[in-house]
Amino acid sequence: MGEPMLNLNEVLEAHRCLNKDIQIGQRMITISTVGVPNTIRKLAAHRLQSTLAISLHAPNQELREKIVPSARAYPLEALMKDCKHYFLETNRRVSFEYTHLAGVNDREEDAVELAALLHRWGPGIT
């Protein structure tokens, strides 16, 4: 399907199909994205009962831009703010995907910084 947030209408239709036609509960569906500006809030407005997963891969903007080039268009603070909005709007948690890359984002300092980032944004951000 590619980056879901670049195809939001199709993702919503696939979600409807999985939920209504195939009868997979909304809470069993996770929508994973690297994050595209202005789309997480649009998704939240649909008030789906699905988990949002963010492909984060770095604890700060500078490193994230090296690992995920498209991150330049979506500053980490704005992404986290939109994730918090998703949680508050849907009452569904947001999870974060993080691939460890040897010597790139796998240092103890990265883990501490990641924990601080997630802690700062509070409940619903796991």
Dump pLDDT digits (tens) for 9-44.
Answer: 999 999 999 999 999 999 999 999 999 999 999 999
Per-residue pLDDT, averaged over 92-115, amounts to 96
**Helix (H) or strand (E) run with residue 30 in it:** strand 30-33
In the three-class reduction of DSSP (H, G, I as helix; E, B as strand; rest coil), residue 123 is classed as: coil
pLDDT value of position 88:
94
Phi-psi region of 124 (alpha: psi -120 to 50; beta: other; left: phi over 0): left
For residue 88, what are the contacts with CB-CB under 8 A and spacing of at least 6? 124
pLDDT value of position 126:
58
Place of tokens 């209504």: 20
Burial of 90 (0-12, 13-18, 19+ CB in 10 A): buried
Statement: residue 124 has pLDDT above 80: no
